[in-house]
Each structure stands twice: as structure tokens, then as C-alpha cells.
Homo-oligomer: A and B are copies of this chain.
Amino acid sequence: MSSRAETTADEQQRQQQQVDIEETISRLESKKGVESVTVLTKDGRVIRTTATTEQSEVHGKLLSKLARDAADIVEELEPQDELSFLRIRTKRHEIMVALDHSYLLVVVQSPQKD
């Protein structure tokens, strides 16, 4: 494949990812009780957020570290196993961190009945 064709394919893939992210965010954002939705790279950089910039950056820094620590623990407990989801329930919120191959999806919502 020529390098021009390669860039076009990469560009198309990047645009498709962008569309997927926007669809995911608008779907989640409309759900009852959802306070914010943030898409992060695995190392915590904010790709897109409905929270304030400051809040999303704090979430990015703290929750990506916690997700990495949890993933390491899961691997240490059982090498063939893999972390897929982290749910942090507090007195005031519920923070959900979904792990994808290249992204972390963070949803903060008011606590839901179990």
C-alpha cells in the first residue's frame, strides 16, 4: 500500500474513532443521573470530556493510575485474566472506569441502587 494510501486509511480510522467517541458520549450523557463522561488515553490524557477541563484532568491523572494499579493486581492474581471494568462506589457518587484497548471511559454518576 502506498504511503499516501496509508495516511488516508489512518485518517479514516482516526475519524471513525472520533465518531464512535462522540456517539458513546452523547448516549451516556443523556442517561439519568450521569454527571460527566470523559474519554482518556491509557496514561490519563483527556481526549474528550463533558466535565470541566480541570476536573477531567484530575480524573485523568488519578483514575488512570488506579486503573493501571488494578490491572497489575488482576494480572498478579491470575496471569491469564484481564481487568475490564472498575466501579468505585462512594457516599456521594459512583465512578465507573471501562477499559478498552486504547481508551479509558470514565462515567461519574449519582449512586444507583444495586
Instruction: Give the oligomeric copy count.
Output: 2
Main secondary structure of the interface of A (DSSP, over half): mixed
What residue in chain B is nearest A74 (Cβ atoms)? B90
| CA of A84 to CA of B111, assembled, Å | 11
Task: Give chain B residues whose Cβ lies under 8 Å from the Cβ of A62.
Answer: 73, 76-77
Task: Give chain B residues whose Cβ lies under 8 Å from the Cβ of A78.
Answer: 90, 92-93
Interface size on A, residues (CB 8 A): 27
Task: Give chain B residues whose Cβ lies under 8 Å from the Cβ of A82.
Answer: 90-91
A-B CB contact pairs (8 Å), 12 listed? A66-B69, A70-B88, A73-B88, A74-B88, A78-B92, A78-B93, A80-B92, A81-B92, A83-B89, A84-B90, A85-B87, A86-B88
